[in-house]
Structures are given as structure tokens and as C-alpha cells.
Structure 1
Amino acid sequence: MADTSGGAPARRGRRRLKRVALTLLVVVLVLVAYATGLYFWAGSRLRTTDAFAAYPGRPAAGKGTDWLLVGSDSRADLTPEQRKALHVGNDEGRNTDTIMVLHYGHSGPYLVSIPRDSYVPIPGHGKGKINSAYALGGAPLLTRTVEQATGLRLDHYAEVNFLGLVDVVDALDGVTVCVAAGGLHDEKSGADFAAGCRHMNGTQALQYARARYSDPRGDLGRVERQRQLLDAIATKATGPAVLIPPWRLIPFVSAALDALTVDGGAGAGDVATLGLKMSGLARTVTVPVAGAPYVAGVGDTVAWNETEARRLFTALRHDTAIPTFSDK
């Protein structure tokens, strides 16, 4: 008679393994369904604009990927109460307070700030401050102006306004930002921060990003703080505390989608890649400048150091390591 004493435990062991395998399969399927659903939901919520237009002499495509990141100072969607609370005033103009290029590929990611007062040719309008291109012709004229000034062919465009930035930071329950020695006190932006690291809500983050009048370096100091804030947002947004729990991720993604306007060729995957690249920046710089001349009829402007700026944009176009400048 055959010995079957070990048969029952073996069968129980196989059943347990099957249950574990089935549980893991269900978990994987749920996660895949969740991620797929989130991807298509995000794609359906994306707001797009015709950010690029064909024109003679447009730069050829370079290596890697280049995004133009724009912060609009439009107050059109703000109530009088919101304008007062955010310290943004009542200017009805439509300029761009923030202009940055994010490059990634074999090298990078690099985040490059273009000073808003950069004095450059604006196609069809002579020379002027680069931020005025948006007011004169919206996103298509701004992207063309940046392309012709830098020699880069931009691949994508992303724009956020005042309220969008506030909502994104609040959806993250705030971010931690370290204020430089001496603190930051700017009556016009509402910034009133002592030196040291502190937790900022959305309104405080906007105040921090907009302050420039009390900074001896003006806009050149402000662009460094803007990059610092974007880094803080991207780092927290791509951390496990936000990415894993659906009750944290979905409100953040919803706020980000409401805040963003992207070019028509950008999809949910491109925007996700943008966020991931922003959280792992290799270096941040400002376009090297040569001075801040006054131009009659235009006001204070920023002139680029043409030699160093050309070296920077050549490196980006060829997707190689960017040169070292005095800026961080």
C-alpha cells in the first residue's frame, strides 16, 4: 500500500501558493487598471493651445527635448478679492513673468531661466522685452521669439497662471522652501519671510516667486527663486507620499491639469515625463547677461552676454553638458 502521509500537506501548500499567486495577479490587474484609467482621465482633462506656428527659417530640430515653461501674469480669471489676497494688483496686461527652457535627453535635465526683460528681436515688432511677445501675439509669437533668439527648436509648451500655481501648491499641502540669509521682504508681492527653511502654502509660494523689487538683483534674483520653488514642487509631487495614495495623487493631478495649458502635440505621457524630469534636475542656470541698459521708450532691459549665451544654447541644441557660468 502506497504511503500518502505527505499528500495532504503538499496539496495544502499548492493551494496556498495558488491563492497567493491569484492575489498578486488581482493586485497587479487593479494597479494596471488604476494607472490606465488615470492616464486616459488625465489625457481627457488636458487643456491645449496652438503654441507653435510654421514660419520661414525656423530652427532645425536639435537633439533631446526642449519645453518652454511660461508663467502668465494674467489676472483675467481672478476676482477683486483674489487679486487683493494674492497681491497681484489690477494690471490688465498679459505678459509672462516666468520664461524657462527645460532640456532633457542624453544630458540634463537642465532648467534655463530667460530673464523677462531680455531685450531681443520680436518678429514683426522690432526689438523689445521678451515677455512682451506674449502680450503682442500670444503663445505662437512667444515661442517664435524664443526660438529665434536662442536658435533652439522647441518641442513642447506649458503655461500656468497665478491662481494655478497657488492651487497646485495647496493641493500638495504646501512645500518647503529655504529662504536665503537676510530673509525676503517685498511689499508689492506680499513676501515677508525670515531667513531659513519654512513651509509655504500656495499664496506664500506665489509671493516668494514674484518678489523682485526689494532684491538688489531684481529679476535675476527672482528667477533663481522661481527655479527653487519649481524644484520644491516637483520633488514633493513625485515623492511616494503623493504618488502612491490615490486620495493624494488624484487631487494633485486634478489641480495640475486645471493649472496647465500645453501645446496641442503634448499628451498625458509627455506631461508626466515633464514632471519627472523637473524632479531630477542636473543643473539650473540663467542665460548669461552682460548688463541692464536703459532703452528709451522701453525702460530697463537685460542684455545677454552673446558669447556665453551662444555657448549655452549650442550645448542644449547638441544635447551636451552645458558650460559653467558664474550663475548657479
Structure 2
Amino acid sequence: MGAVGWVLLSAVLFLISAHSQEGKGISQEAKAALAKGGFPPLTPTTILVLGSDKRPKGSKEPGARASGQRSDTIMLLRVGGGASSKLSIPRDTVVPIPGHGVDKINSAYAYGGAALSIKTVSNWTGISIDHLIEVNLENFPKFIDALGGITVKTPCVISDINGGTRNGGVSIRLHKGENDLNGKQSLAYARTRHNRCDPSYSDIDRVRAQQQIIGGMRTSLLSLGGFIRLPWAAWAAPQAINTDVGALELSGIIASIVVSGSPPPKVLKPTGAVTLSNGGAGLVVSDSAKQRAVDQFLNG
């Protein structure tokens, strides 16, 4: 089979896999909250990417069975029509949540799932959100492994995620510099908030790591090894996410991400801190800082 046949096989596997996943895990309320504009790769489309703090099955970490999951990852992607931008919002950013007063932005997911997260992010930023992608934490590592892993440049990281390996989670030890990560390691790096190598490691560092992983996925996909593994990656990709997007449109979004390149990580940086009514600490972003970040996200 030649290169063209290999690509066509991969495309067919992707469409079959995506069609089998169509609509899974996305509520009607979440779909109704979306603007559904844009048509990648022809016109710009804005996508909200969410990842919850749900623990894996079998985790013995304290609190693993607690209800009320929060969104561990909140990232906006804009692709298609020549657009290519990413904006991560730290989970502890304090914002108005419709019907629930002022709270950390990740609490919107606990209060009302993806639908309330969409409304909260859209209302606060003023950005219309066209589509939703929720990371499937069980299948995401399988997609990374199907790619053959990723390579990312990291700081020194020593961390135990979900209680570490002794409690059903993952322990990672990364040296400063380039590291080759498998699926479980990639997910653990994306979720690291407490780094024993660096006590000052914060949520800002974590959201940068999440954007690094997206860049690493793109690099692996475009490599020779990625081409060889393309059919397996094409089958695994749709199963790593839950989304409102249909198979053909999802292929357009992924094509836009691959073709448009990987923009530098952009994080909505806090301009201060605040104590919440429950005694917890949150981050605040000034209106001017928020508007600058939004303008850059929308206009490049």
C-alpha cells in the first residue's frame, strides 16, 4: 500500500470511529448553549476544551469518590480560516457564575456540568463558543500511545497524580529538558499542580504544560513515526474526546490544527488574588487584562 492509500485508510478509520462516538457524553443542555458558528477549515471556529478532575477507576486517593467534579482544564481554541490561537484560563480564576454568584471558574462544571461551563466562559470573556470538546480521561492516554508518545521540553517535575502509583494513580519523574512521554505520563504532566522539584510551580505552569502537550501531539502526528502509526492514531483520536461535533466537521477541526501550526502558549494571567466567602483563595483578572487577552485570541 502506498502513501496515498495509507492516508485514505486512516481517513476512513477516523470517520468510522468518529461516527461511532458522535454525540456521546454531551448533554442536550450543553449543545443548546453553543453558538455553532464557523466551518473549519474554511472559517474560524471557537472551541471550548474541558477536562474534569475525575479520578481514575480504582484510585485509592482520598476524595476519589467525591461527587461534584470540577473542570481541571479550561482552554479556548480558535482554528480554521487561517486562525490559530489558544487561550487557557486558570481554574482558580474568580468569575460570575450564572445562578451561583461569584466563585472559581472551575466550579461551574460542578454546579451545572459542561452547559454551565460554556455559559460562564462565554459570558465572562464575551466570546461566542461554537463547539465543545471534553477530554475522555480514560481514552486520552490510549491516543497518545497510538501516536507513539510525545516529546516535550519540561522543567524538573516530581509529582504524584491521583495519589501516585501506590494509590491507583500515576507518579512522574521528569528531568529538566526534553522528555519522551507515554499516554499516562502525558496526562499526569497535564494535571500536575504540586511539583516537589519546584514549590513555586503553580496552576499557570500547569496550563502551559497542557498547551505544550497539544503541541507535542501535533509534532508526533507530523513525524515519520506518526505517519507510520497514522491508522491507529486516527482510530483512537475520536475516542479520546466527547464532542458535539460530527465526524466530517471534527476532521476539519483536526486538519486546521495540524495545518495552522502550534501558536505559543497563552495563559490568561491573574492580576491579583481574593479571599472567597468560604475562606478559599482565588485569582482575579482585571477587565483590561482580560480584554487584551481576548482581543489577541480573536485577532491573532
* Same fold, judged at TM 0.5 (above): yes
Name 1:185's counterpart in structure 2: 158
Give me the whole-angstrom Cα distance separating, in 2, the residues matched to 1:305 and 1:260. 32
The within-5 A match list for 1:1-328 is: 34=9, 37-38=12-13, 40-48=15-23, 49=26, 50=28, 51-54=30-33, 64-75=44-55, 78-80=56-58, 83=59, 90-92=64-66, 93-105=68-80, 108-180=83-155, 183-188=156-161, 190-214=171-195, 215-243=199-227, 245=228, 248-263=229-244, 266-279=245-258, 280-297=261-278, 299-316=280-297, 319-321=298-300
8 A Cα contact 1:120 1:128, kept in partner: yes
Give me the whole-angstrom Cα distance separating, in 2, the residues matched to 1:257 and 1:33. 17
Using a 3 Å threshold, how does the CA distance of structure 1 residues 192 and 294 change in structure 2: closer, same or farther? farther
SS of 1:271 mapped into structure 2:
helix
Give me the whole-angstrom Cα distance separating, in 1, the residues matched to 2:264 and 2:8. 36
8 A Cα contact 1:108 1:283, kept in partner: no
Shift of 1:206: 2.0
Deviations 1:40-81 (A, max 9, x none): 4134223422323259xx8x99x8210101112223xx431x
Give me the whole-angstrom Cα distance separating, in 2, the residues matched to 1:253 and 1:66. 22
Using a 3 Å threshold, how does the CA distance of structure 1 residues 269 and 89 change in structure 2: closer, same or farther? farther
Report the aligned-residue RMSD.
3.0
Using a 3 Å threshold, how does the CA distance of structure 1 residues 123 and 37 change in structure 2: closer, same or farther? same
Give me the whole-angstrom Cα distance separating, in 2, the residues matched to 1:32 and 1:229. 24
8 A Cα contact 2:51 2:71, kept in partner: yes
Calculate percent identity across the aligned residue pairs.
31
Give me the whole-angstrom Cα distance separating, in 1, the residues matched to 2:94 and 2:280. 10
In the TM superposition, structure 1's runs of 4+ consecutive aligned residues that sit over 4 Å from their partners are: 26-33
Moved more, 43-52 or 288-297: 43-52
Deviations 1:264-310 (A, max 9, x none): xx122332333344441233211131123222316121111320211
Give me the whole-angstrom Cα distance separating, in 2, the residues matched to 1:35 and 1:127. 46
Structure 2 unaligned segments of length 5 or more: list them.
163-170
8 A Cα contact 1:128 1:298, kept in partner: no
Give me the whole-angstrom Cα distance separating, in 2, the residues matched to 1:40 and 1:166. 20
SS of 1:228 mapped into structure 2:
helix
Using a 3 Å threshold, how does the CA distance of structure 1 residues 230 and 35 change in structure 2: closer, same or farther? closer
Higher relative contact order (CA 8 A, sep 6+): 2
8 A Cα contact 2:148 2:220, kept in partner: no
TM-score w.r.t. length of structure 1? 0.74
SS of 2:32 mapped into structure 1:
coil
Deviations 1:200-246 (A, max 9, x none): 11222122111112341411111111111121012212444334x4x
Q: Which has the larger radius of gyration?
A: 1
Shift of 1:113: 0.4
Structure 1 unaligned segments of length 5 or more: list them.
1-25, 322-328
Shift of 1:97: 0.7
